[in-house]
Structure 1
Amino acid sequence: MRVTGGETDEDLARRTIRGTVDALDFMQAHGVRFQPSLSGTLSLARTNAFFLGGGKSLVNAYYLAAEALGIDILYESEVEVLHVEDDRIALVEMTSRGFPEFVRARAVVVASGGFQANREWLKEGWGDIAENFLIRGTPYARGKVLRNLLDQGIASIGDPTQCHAVAIDGRAPKFDGGIVTRLDCVPFSIVVNANGDRFYDEGEDVWPKRYAIWGRLVAQQPGQIAYAIIDAKARKLFMPSVFPAIEAPSVRELAGKLGLDGDKLEQVVASYNAAVQPGTFDNQRLDGCRTSGLTPDKSNWARPIVEPPFIGYPLRPGITFTYLGVKVDADARVYREGGTAMRNLFGAGEIMAGSVLGKGYLAGFGMAIGTVFGRAAGNGAAREAALLR
């Protein structure tokens, strides 16, 4: 409720959380392997389970488990149109290995994600500034199935401008930079925009509750770029960057390397340093080390930036997935506009995540939604298919 500002379906949010209780057993039974939780810089050891090998390893394990059960998987295939007739999907129109295919299915699960790689769709909500967004994943997540369903009267939920948006290294590629381009230095830094001004409390809360707001914050700045500034004593407090840090022996020289005004950055750093209050620094908790008299003040982890080399990172909005999606219930059943439930259409993952995430993000919650509602959708589709035998 805190990270979304109350913009969530509380019943579905609780359904997601409860569903994670036995998710690990289910995942392990289908070939997913886990590793010890990360600790230290990410503050996730208490709350998050980590699977070994990342997302591709997870998906590959599921594919192998499905094939072992005798399930046919059509690779090199793309759904073009889902034909909605009243409360049913009557026909699935697709292309498979270059040839048209038509499938009449007893039940359909849509798990095709959002539209984060569709820049024209992003511009509908964001305007031309969307040209400066970096897409953390595949360039193929264009929302074709989502758009097709919404155009046929399937109920939508969520804001087209809300998304999982992380402040990533501004030197990352336009697509497919992945998780390694994320920068976790923000809580231990000051962040300035292209004019050299701070614009948000860098120490508002622990990073797993705030890292996914920073992409949106940077998107609202001039040129959709910002810069994190730290000194030598902070450099080991976060995961190392995939691109080399930009370093200089003085704040003025660092400003020059970042393309910022040297006088302004020196003034901002000096004002920040003077505003830091006495306290006991602790990067593992909300430590209350704060500033006083700044706009905005920094609430935690505030220490003077005085120890060379001085270090900077350019930040750009990195879009992971969008929140506009289809409306579902606790059984993952998709609804039409007007409140009619679709009899044989179910949704899972990012295509319905807006039901839970109106805005904001909590670390690991996308995976939780995908897993819990993937299982719910599969169960619902199986029941529907059995009824129609």
Structure 2
Amino acid sequence: MTSEYDIAVIGGGNAALCAAMTAAERGAKVVVLETAPKTYRGGNSRHTRNFRCMHSTPLGPLVEAYGEDEYFEDLLKVTGGKTDERLARIAIRTSEECLPWMEAHGVRFQPSLSGTLSLARTNAFFMGGGKSLVNAYYRTAGKLGVDVLYEANVTHLQLEGDRISRVDYTHEGQHRSFAPRAVIVASGGFQANTDWLTRAWGPPAQNFLIRGTPYNRGVVLADLLDQGVRSVGDPTQCHAVAIDGRAPKFDGGIVTRLDCVPFSIVVNKNAERFHDEGEDVWPKRYAIWGRLIANQLDQIGYVVIDAKSLDLFMPSVFPPVKADTLEELADKMGLPPEKLLETVTAFNAACGDTSTFHPTELDGVTTSGLTPPKSNWARPITEAPFYGYSLRTGVTFTYLGLKVDEKARCSTENGPIRNLWAAGETMAGSILGQGYLAGFGMTIGTVFGRIAGQEAANHAN
């Protein structure tokens, strides 16, 4: 087997493109194998909004400072300590140099949004969102001589001893093979593979919605795991959020996320509350709600708010259900009216002084004597009209992936694989054992994509 390419990058999102550009800048001839058609290129990166970035002074659109230790503490809170600290700190520490690198490769930033996405100190927002970032990277990669094959489905990486000897894929109706000097896997998790999700989660997974690309089916991940490449992470752990129950099965994207939970009560099908809606600021807690909803009957929940809270969060892509009374709202959402009225009445009675209510920071406006409590933003639901949303579990990406070292290299039990690296969601389980921190997936992909590209180019050269 021979090949005109030094490096094959499998995947077409942020991590893959960062790897491809970095390798090309070091003189390597690179091909990107993207499973999706061109109009759907970019994987989950198409749906992103921002990049979480450490900085010691104001940087680009970021204000003040956000240090390494605070960043790491934020990560520990959401993961419950389930993280590889060495890799996590590499991602955090390197993120500061990534922002100017991103700008140099075509990405443009804008000031942060307000309300529940007020992250001006911690997260840099992309001008035009993730789609603009992806398009900018493809333009830059093309200028650097990177070739891209769309609808190129990689079916097998042949592992022989301590190296990948062959890449098999289908393209334009033909089965093809080639032998690059190095391979970078950046093809995401297995969340679009419902059968695999169901094996991990059981029957409830049939009710999950997939927020991102339908092309992340875990084909390459499964192929490598079957050949003994070391894995990391729990197949039941994932980045899962509560999204609008009316969202499509696949590719609804970030706009289907609902940011109203902190200003609401959330109930199950029996109109009973089941968790503290005001636990922390939304960017640090939104990712727990997908799992919470997954544990409810029929994997569904319902948001209830009133008129005074409607403008406190990002507008929803679908309008909320609206009613003049709580009983009417319950009827429209298929909830037991008497029980919903009882739940809201008990919640309202437990609310106290609301004079210090502040929608964008922890305000200590809490309930008293209520289980579960609401720790912040607890205001009575009394002002008609009333509004509601249904909530479903929306899976972004799964955390079972390829175990890597600090150089993004993969390995077997016998030692490192000399020419195989991984970046992005396919290795993020090394750092995200559970939970999620807003914008951190893009950080992992950017940092380890660049590392993988550099290391693969060094090997190829």
TM-score bracket for the superposition, by shorter chain length: over 0.9
2:411 corresponds to which residue?
Answer: 335
Q: 232, 236, 257: which is aligned to 1:157?
A: 232
Counterpart of 1:111 in structure 2: which amino acid? Answer: A
Residue of structure 2 aligned with 1:167, choices 242, 245, 253 = 242
362-371 or 91-100: which moved more?
A: 91-100
1:385 is aligned to 2:460:
yes
Gaps of 5+ in 1: none
Query: Is 1:204 aligned with 2:276?
Result: no
Residue 251, structure 1, aligned to residue 326, structure 2: yes
Deviations 1:95-153 (CA, angstroms, capped at 9, x unpaired): 12221221111111000000111000000111111111011122111000000010000
Match of 1:66 in 2: 141
Task: Give the distance between the partners of 1:58 and 1:178, measured in 2 at CA.
Answer: 15
Which of 337, 355, 364 is 1:288 aligned to? 364
- Please give the alpha-carbon distance, in whole angstroms, between the structure 1 residues aligned to 2:314 and 2:390: 16
Taking the aligned partners of 1:244 and 1:75, their CA distance within structure 2 comes to 36
CA shift, 1:339, in A, is 6.0
Matches within 5 A, 1:109-148: 109-148=184-223
Alignment of 1:189-268 (within 5 A): 189-268=264-343
One-letter code of the match for 2:188?
A: G
Distance in 2 (alpha carbons) for counterparts of 1:35 and 1:288:
31
Q: For the residues of structure 2 that align with 1:107 and 1:285, how far apart are their CA atoms?
A: 47
Per-residue deviation, 1:167: 0.3
Identity over aligned pairs, percent: 66
Counterparts of 1:268-287 in structure 2, within 5 Å, are 268-279=343-354, 280-287=356-363
Alignment RMSD (CA, Å): 1.0
The yes-or-no answer on 1:81 pairing with 2:156 is: yes
Separation in structure 2 between the aligned mates of residue 377 and residue 218 of structure 1, nearest angstrom: 36
Q: Is the 8 A contact 2:242 2:293 kept in 1?
A: yes
Deviates more, 1:39-48 or 1:179-188: 39-48
Matched, 1:305 2:378: no
Q: Which amino acid aligns with 2:254?
A: I
Specify whether residues 339 and 168 from structure 1 end up closer, same or farther in structure 2 by C-alpha distance, changes over 3 A only.
farther
Of the structure 1 ranges 51-60 and 103-112, higher mean CA displacement relative to structure 2 is found in 51-60
Equivalent AA in structure 2 for residue 206 of structure 1: V
SS of residue matched to 2:344: helix
**How many residues are treated as equivalent by the alignment?**
385
Deviations for 1:55-97, whole angstroms, at most 9, x for unmatched residues?
Answer: 2221221121111112222222111100111111111111122
Give the conservation status (yes or no) of the 8 Å contact 2:210–2:252: yes
Matched, 1:358 2:433: yes
Deviations 1:178-212 (A, max 9, x none): 11111000011000000111111100111001001
Structure 1 residue 36: Cα displacement: 1.8
C-alpha distance in structure 2 between counterparts of 1:41 and 1:92, whole Å = 45
2:447 counterpart residue number: 372
Q: Which amino acid aligns with 1:326?
A: L
Which consecutive residues of structure 2, in runs of 5 or more, have no partner in the other structure?
A: 1-75
Q: Distance in 2 between matches of 1:113 and 1:368?
A: 14
CA distance in 2, matches of 1:370, 1:380: 15
CA distance in 1, matches of 2:116, 2:141: 36
Taking the aligned partners of 1:104 and 1:175, their CA distance within structure 2 comes to 34
What is the TM-score of this pair, normalised by structure 1? 0.97
User: Is 2:115–2:314's contact at 8 Å kept on the other side of the alignment?
Assistant: no
Shift of 1:287: 0.6
Q: CA deviation at 1:173?
A: 0.8
| Cα deviation, residue 23, structure 1 | 0.8
Separation of aligned partners in 1, 2:394 and 2:414: 34
8 Å contact from structure 1 (residues 43, 207) kept in 2: no
In the other structure, the counterpart of 1:314 is 390
Give the Cα separation in 1 of the matches to 2:405 and 2:258. 35
Paired amino acid for 2:234:
D
Q: Tell me, yes or no, if structure 1 residue 52 matches structure 2 residue 127.
A: yes
Matched residues in 2 for 1:339 and 1:135: separation? 36
SS in structure 2 at match of 1:114: coil
Tell me, yes or no, if the aligned pair for 1:43 and 1:206 is still in contact at 8 Å: no
Q: Distance in 1 between matches of 2:263 and 2:121?
A: 21
TM-score by length of 2: 0.82
